[in-house]
Amino acid sequence: MKYYSLNENAPKVSFKDAVIKGLAPDKGLYFPESISLLDKELINNISEYTDHEIGYEVIKQFVGDEIPKTVLKQIIAETLSFDFPLIDIENNIKTLELFHGPTMAFKDVGARFMARCLGYLNASSQKEITVLVATSGDTGGAVASGFLDVKNVNVVILYPSKKVSDVQEKQLTTLGKNIKALEVDGTFDDCQAMVKKAFLDKSITSIKQLTSANSINVARWLPQMFYFFLAYKQLKEKGKKLVFSVPSGNYGNICAGMMTKQLGLPIHGFIASTNANDIVPKFLKTGEYHPKPSVQTISNAMDVGDPSNFIRIQEIYNNDFERLKNDLHSYSFTDNETRDAMLHLYNNCDYIADPHGAVGYLGIKKYNLPNDAYGIFLETAHPVKFLDVVEPVINKSIEFPQQIQAVIDKTKEASFIRTYSELKSFLLDN
C-alpha cells in the first residue's frame, strides 16, 4: 500500500513512512492510494468472526506486508482489549460506548494501535522518534497511555491552558518517563498550528525525527474503522438500516466511519454532530468551506475551527459535493441544548451521557430517522471526565472508575509556553 499527499506535491510513501512522517513535506495529509472492497463473506457472516479477526481483515490492506501477519494480529489483540457495548436509549436509538479502555475515551483505539505499530516499525532503528501531538481533550491522555515506555519514542503533548477538564489534564500530565506535557496559553487551534509549524521547520527536523499522533496520522485515523464494524456485528441480525451520529471536532472519527462504507459496510447515513464550531454544517448548506477561530464550549474536544480531516472526507467522495450530501448530514448545537439533552437522557432514559455524547444524541433526534433504521450515537468519553459539566446538570455525583482513580491524585507536571519559539526551544533542548 502506498500513501499520497492530499496536497499532491510530495512523493508517495509506504505505510511505515506515512506513520513515521505523520504529515507530508508539502503539508498535506496522507491518504491510501487504493481502497478495496472487503470480501462479502466477512460482511454477510460477520457474527461468525471474532472482534480481533474483524480488525485484522479491516486493516490489513492499509498496512500491507510492512508488518508481519502474526505481529499485526497481536497489535490488534492489544488494541481491541476492551468492550464496545451498544446500549438501548429510546425506540430505535442506541449508543455505542467507546470509553471502556485505559483512558476512558474512544481515542484509546487509535493511540494503542499507532503506538504498537510505531514501536514495531522503529524497533531496529537506533534513532529516537518524537511524537508531537496537540490535544483538545482526550487525545493527550490516550496518546500518553498508549506510548508510555515505548522504546525509542518520546512524546510531547500540547494542550490549551484551562480548556481541558481536570481529569483530562491529569491523564496527560502525570505519567512522566517518556511523556512530556506543554500547557499552551491559547486554544486548541493554536496548539495544532504550532505542531504543524514544527513539522515543517527544517532546523528541527534536520535534528529530530518528528511524527504526529493526532488523527492526521494514518495509524491513528484508520483503526477507528474497527468500532463501526463491531457495531454492525451486534446489529446485523436485526435487519435494519444503520445511521451513525458522530460527535465531531477534527473529523477523524467520522471520516474513518465513512471509510468503512467504501470497504462495503452497508451504512445508510452519517451525521456529523457538533457544537458552536459549525464550519461543516455551514459547508453542507452553502457549499463554501470557511475555517474560523474555534469557540470554547462545554464539549471541548470538538472546539475545532479548522478540522484537519475534512479534506479526507472530501477525497473519499472525489470532491463531489452532491454525493457527499447524500451520505452526510451535519448539525450544530448550543451548550444549553447540550445540557438539556444530558438532563433528558438522565431523567427519561436513565443514562448519564458526557457532553459530546449528548451532542451525538441531539444529531440523531434532529435527523429524520426512517422507521426501519437504528440511530446510533457514539459515546466517546466517560462522563467522569467532565464532572464540572455533568454533575451540575444531573445533580448527582459520579464515582471515579478505577482508571481515573489511578491518576487523579497524582501531581501535574507540565511546562507553560506562549509562543512557537518556546516550543522550538523545548524540542531542541530535550
Phi then psi for residue 77, to 5 deg, are -60, -40
State how far the alpha carbon of 179 is from the alpha carbons of 39, 72, 73, 209, 419, in Å.
40, 25, 27, 16, 21
424 is catalytic: no
How far out from the chain centre does Cα 46 lie? Answer: 24
User: What is the C-alpha to C-alpha distance for residues 4 and 31, in angstroms, rounded to an integer?
Assistant: 5
* CA dist., res. 313 & res. 353, Å (int): 27
The string of DSSP letters for 64-76 reads TTSS-HHHHHHHH
What gap in Å lies between CA 102 and CA 164, rounded to an integer?
Answer: 18
Question: Which cell goes with 429?
Answer: 533542548
Q: Could you give the dihedral angle defined by the CA atoms of residues 27, 146, 223 and 193, in that order, rounded to the nearest 10 degrees?
A: -20
* Beta carbons of 121 and 19 less than 8 angstroms apart: yes
Catalytic hit among 21, 107, 233, 385: 107
**CA-to-CA distance for 142 and 101, rounded, in angstroms?**
9
Give the CA count within 13 Å in the CB-facing half-sphere of 242: 28
Q: Scanning the structure block, which residue is given the C-alpha cell 510505531?
A: 118
What the block records as the C-alpha cell of 16 is 511505515
What is the Cα–Cα distance from 76 to 223, expressed in whole angstroms? 9
Amino acid at 421: S
Give the count of beta carbons closer than 10 Å to the beta carbon of residue 207. 10
What cell does 87 get? 446500549
What is the enclosing helix (H) or strand (E) of 374? strand 373-379
Alpha carbon distance, N-terminus to C-terminus of the chain: 34
Q: Phi/psi of residue 95, each to 5°?
A: -120, 140
The catalytic residue positions are 107
